[in-house]
Amino acid sequence: MTVDETRIRTEPSPVHATDAVAQAMRVSVAPMMDWTDRHCRYLHRLLSRHALLYTEMVTTGALIHGDIPRHLRFNDEEHPLALQLGGSEPADLAHCAKLGEEWGYDEININCGCPSERVQRGAFGACLMNEPQLVADCVKAMVDVVSVPVTVKHRIGIDKIERYDFVRDFVGTVSEAGCDTFIVHARNAWLKGLSPKQNREVPPLRYELVHRLKHDFPALRFSINGGFTDVAQMKAHLRLLDGVMVGREAYHNPWSLADWDALFFGEAPTSLTREAVELAMCDYMVREAAEHGTPWSNIARHMLGLRNGLPGARRWRQVWSDHRLKSKSPHEVMASAHEGVPQEA
């Protein structure tokens, strides 16, 4: 990555969101379907006290016509926490944003970045970037009924539209409706011909467009998303922008979050160990089973990357993935997983 040194800020951006959410935005974990459920977020919160966490996308239809507690329930420990909504009807989004605030979420985010065909059939996600005024109307409807920040997650373009003025005009229009925080995935979304997985890999990353947005809209807050795998990348972008959002790297290598509080939030270096986190997750599994009947395997799947790179990690993952052990308690499974596995220094 090439960083334009002429655009390094010497003063922080104005804080329009609540102080806690604005500070937490500095480093966040991306909303990821089928992954960032409340169990995954509980694990991530054990590793970082301050990073901003996002839910999976929840559609307005699921909240209006479905089981609200199932979609909105979270653990108190997860704060600061943002609810991501998918939808394109202003009234429906306003209703669901209000529900999110009533349930205690710290931020409401609208998805304008998902390229999947299923989402497109619902007329939301990345295809909304073609209708900036509609997105502005949606934002205005939500801002009018909630007091928590309303934010937008989007791409830098769609299909073959690679002009900077496309994303610039989108941000300009939506910001006039009351949104001052944008999370930008620095790739185009191709609405036809690529799967969601390919959309995370094939369109090139163009970080410089996000830097340019910050340069052109200095009063707005921008977090950048896409392709981050190490701390050096994150630090470089934080010299220019207000936040960095990490996706799959945070999920596949969750232990990397253990350094975030010290590196990005001024905390003392952690004395946490992987074993302590694993034990806390076992306690959580017991609690979840008692309160909600959740099988421990539904939770354990999120921590399978916890020992990546350590001796014995493969055997450890195999034990925690063994469904023949479902009848055992989580603590018994943990003991089995550590048989013959070297402990952390």
Is residue 179 annotated as a catalytic residue, yes or no? no
Cβ count near 5 (within 10 Å): 8
Cβ atoms 303, 284 nearer than 8 A: no
Q: Which one, of 171, 155, 183, 156, lies nearest residue 245 by Cα? A: 183
In three-state secondary structure terms, 14 is coil
Question: Which residues, other chains included, contact 201 with Cβ-Cβ below 8 Å and sequence gap of 6+?
Answer: none
Give the Cα separation of 139 and 345 in Å (integer). Answer: 50
In three-state secondary structure terms, 258 is helix
Phi, psi of 157 (to 5 degrees): 180, 175
Cβ atoms 313, 307 nearer than 8 A: yes
> DSSP label at 162?
-
What are the structure tokens assigned to 219, written together? 């009063």
CA–CA distances in Å: residue 45 to residues 38, 119, 270, 310, 339: 10, 29, 13, 22, 27
CA–CA distances in Å: residue 5 to residues 207, 223, 234: 14, 18, 15
Torsion of CA 7, 237, 263, 54, to 10 degrees: 130
- Identified catalytic residue from 40, 112, 114, 179: 114
> DSSP label at 195?
-
Strand 107-112 versus strand 81-86 pairing type: parallel
What would the DSSP string read from start to end of 133-152? Answer: HHHHHHHHHHHTT-SS-EEE
What would the DSSP string read from start to end of 73-89? Answer: ---GGG-SEEEEEE---
Q: Which residues are catalytic?
A: 114
